[in-house]
Structure 1
Amino acid sequence: MQTTLAREVTLKGAGVHAGVEATLTLKPARANTGLVFTRSFADSAPRKAVVSWQSVQATDFATVLGDRSGILVSTVEHLVAACSGLGLDNAIVEIDGPEVPILDGSAAQFVQAIDSVGLTTLSNRRKYLKVLKPVRVENGASFGELRPYDAGFRLEVEIDFAHEAIGRQRFAATMTPSVFRRELASARTFGFLKDVEMLRAAGYARGAALENTVCLDDNGVMNEDGLRFADEFVRHKALDAVGDLGLAGLPLLARYSSYRGGHKLNAAMVSALLSDRSAYAVVEEAVRPAREPIGAELPGISPAPAFAPER
């Protein structure tokens, strides 16, 4: 059955790119509402944007949503990932600033906020987007592919960075709320010290700091506490994929594979899927997630070296 929040919950913080403080309140919503962002303005009426591929305004360094008047709110992917990962179908997200707070750089505090109020079950059955045939998007060496999968939503993400602290890493798991909480929610966004000046000159990363971003220089990870997972980098990319694929508007019954992907590729995958009416069906059916190994437990997958004890 569909779900919503049992009651509202509020978070505050600065955005990672604009660096502007914002207050965000998650509120319960009726069945079939989906996730809807509503932004308040001091000098005009509130505007809203439904979490949908049709609301996407930009995907350069974050997922940005808007309406007919233009950009409404940016960096929504971690919050949408938390909602999707926990099975929250319907909520109103009220925000008074241009960007969702980055908090600690992961989805952990969004998960904690949702868990603190809990979910309530509605009387309407949940609908799913069931992928019926392979859909693939390529961009240079990067690619993404959605394929049929009857056991829920399977995520297989691989990254390859020319930095010895990252290298080639792979994460794979069939998503459930417990898997999302344990394996992905606390994986933080990351960036490279050499890119900071360029990004800030372009209007990005103005709120980035070691408190909310894993930063790498030529010698490795700069954060004193090191990494939360040996392969935190690929886990964060998987977290982003969960959030970006939430732009489909309904939970997916599919296997998603990506190589060297990001927000732009993930959003393009959703657009490609929904642009081909023969590639999917909207269904109401219960699924039993397959019991499959996770991450480094997969055959042939070796964990990346840890830079600090995992916690």
Structure 2
Amino acid sequence: MKQRTLKQIVTATGVGLHSGERVALTLHPAEENTGIQFRRTDLSGEQGEIIKLSPYLINDTRLSSTVVTEHGTRVGTIEHIMSALAAYGVDNALIELNAPEIPIMDGSSLPFIFLLQDAGIVEQNAPKRFLRILKEVEVKEPSKWVKFMPYDGFKVGLTIEFDHPVFNRSSPRFEIDFAGKSYVEEIARARTFGFMQEVELMRSNNLGLGGNLSNAIVIDDTDVLNPEGLRYPDEFVRHKILDAIGDLYIVGHPIIGAFEGYKSGHAINNALLRAVLADESSYEWVEFGEDDETLPNAFFGVDTLRAA
């Protein structure tokens, strides 16, 4: 299997969910072995330099995964675009933006899927590297936990829990094994969500300034306020899976293993990545030839190049 990048440059504009700022976004092809990189075009000097993404740069997880470098450069709300990049198995790309946050678009990863389809995906010459989970690794916090387990493919399972009537109408758990299920069909359309009573508190902390009914599911005391309703009956837990996939792809490589979470969020997802990388006995880096018989049954991004 070979590394992948974009075939051509693509651009989009939108609004930052938390900053409320207008954002111009440009995705560029990138050389082999350069990984996913970001650059703030509105900044100069050290703050405007290219940032190579790693789990150790996620230093703000208030309602999103946000890069904060040693120079104070911020790139916020990266989880949705990272989720789309994971789905297409993109190893190398440069993402430029002129604001501190990736645009929220419609609150899901589907607009980024369309953007990648417009760009096209090409294979490169260097072999693709995978992170294979070798043993169970778990991170626990009060009332929540996440873990990785060995698995010959890529599978994600999540359970959410909210004391609210809207969440009692659908299953709190969803699991997807990408051996037989489509990310685009089952996950990509699921939107971020929030509670109306939290909006004032968020905005007092300069968060959620760009949120509205066109880019998030908004919930009042009893119901969903969006006139079109939900895209999936269990859209909430599916969006949490979308987030988790994006958070996990911050490691920069596809994962061969199973992820399971209970009330997971950006901070604990990142803590799990760091826990794995801190224990060299828990993982290995692997590569596969085109006809390698040891190729897993299925993993993320394998078939998307042919399907695109």
User: What's the TM-score, normalizing by structure 2?
Assistant: 0.90
Residue number among 206, 211, 214 corresponding to 1:208 in the alignment? 211
Residue number among 192, 195, 199 corresponding to 2:198 in the alignment? 195
Give the Cα separation in 2 of the matches to 1:119 and 1:195: 40
Which is further off, 164-173 or 212-221? 164-173
Q: Does 1:181 align with 2:184?
A: yes
Give the Cα separation in 1 of the matches to 2:99 and 2:224: 31
Identity %: 36
Give the Cα separation in 1 of the matches to 2:44 and 2:130: 39
User: What's the TM-score, normalizing by structure 1?
Assistant: 0.90
Structure 1 regions of 5+ residues with no counterpart?
Answer: 291-311
Task: Give, as a single letter, the amino acid of the residue that structure 1 aligns with 2:106.
Answer: D
Report the secondary structure of 2:91's partner residue: coil
Once the two structures are superposed, residues 163-210 of structure 1 have per-residue CA deviations (whole angstroms, 9 ceiling, x without a partner) of 111145111112379711111111000000010100100110000000
Cα 1:276–1:251, aligned 2, differ >3 Å: closer, same or farther?
A: same
* Cα drift, residue 119 of structure 1: 0.3
Structure 2 regions of 5+ residues with no counterpart?
Answer: 289-294, 300-308
Report the secondary structure of 1:37's partner residue: strand
* Cα drift, residue 139 of structure 1: 0.8
Report the secondary structure of 1:171's partner residue: strand
Q: Does 1:49 align with 2:51?
A: yes
The within-5 A match list for 1:71-82 is: 71-82=73-84
> Which residue of 2 is the match for residue 217 of structure 1?
220
Give the Cα separation in 2 of the matches to 1:224 and 1:50: 40
Task: Give, as a single letter, the amino acid of the residue that structure 2 aligns with 1:5.
Answer: L
> Which residue of 1 is the match for residue 296 of structure 2?
287
Report the secondary structure of 2:229's partner residue: coil
Give the Cα separation in 2 of the matches to 1:284 and 1:42: 37
The 8 Å contact of residues 192 and 236 in structure 2, kept in 1 or not, is answered as yes
> Which residue of 2 is the match for residue 86 of structure 1?
88
Aligned residues: 289
Cα 1:69–1:42, aligned 2, differ >3 Å: closer, same or farther?
A: closer
> Which residue of 2 is the match for residue 272 of structure 1?
275
Give the Cα separation in 1 of the matches to 2:99 and 2:287: 36
> Which residue of 1 is the match for residue 24 of structure 2?
23
Report the secondary structure of 2:82's partner residue: helix
Give the Cα separation in 2 of the matches to 1:43 and 1:111: 30
Give the Cα separation in 2 of the matches to 1:17 and 1:72: 13
Once the two structures are superposed, residues 22-60 of structure 1 have per-residue CA deviations (whole angstroms, 9 ceiling, x without a partner) of 111111011111110111125546222222101112112
Once the two structures are superposed, residues 200-239 of structure 1 have per-residue CA deviations (whole angstroms, 9 ceiling, x without a partner) of 0011000000000100001210000000000000000000
Give the Cα separation in 1 of the matches to 2:283 and 2:43: 42
Task: Give, as a single letter, the amino acid of the residue that structure 2 aligns with 1:58.
Answer: D
> Which residue of 2 is the match for residue 162 of structure 1?
163
Task: Give, as a single letter, the amino acid of the residue that structure 2 aligns with 1:171.
Answer: F
Report the secondary structure of 2:271's partner residue: helix
Give the Cα separation in 2 of the matches to 1:178 and 1:154: 10
Give the Cα separation in 1 of the matches to 2:49 and 2:91: 21
> Which residue of 1 is the match for residue 67 of structure 2?
65
Q: Does 1:123 align with 2:125?
A: yes
* Cα drift, residue 83 of structure 1: 0.1
The 8 Å contact of residues 91 and 252 in structure 2, kept in 1 or not, is answered as no
The 8 Å contact of residues 39 and 96 in structure 2, kept in 1 or not, is answered as yes
Give the Cα separation in 2 of the matches to 1:270 and 1:42: 29
Which is further off, 218-227 or 281-290? 281-290
The 8 Å contact of residues 15 and 23 in structure 2, kept in 1 or not, is answered as yes
Give the Cα separation in 2 of the matches to 1:83 and 1:253: 16
Give the Cα separation in 2 of the matches to 1:177 and 1:103: 28
The 8 Å contact of residues 179 and 297 in structure 2, kept in 1 or not, is answered as no
Task: Give, as a single letter, the amino acid of the residue that structure 1 aligns with 2:113.
Answer: V
Report the secondary structure of 1:60's partner residue: coil
Give the Cα separation in 2 of the matches to 1:173 and 1:61: 24
The 8 Å contact of residues 19 and 208 in structure 1, kept in 2 or not, is answered as yes
Give the Cα separation in 1 of the matches to 2:68 and 2:43: 18
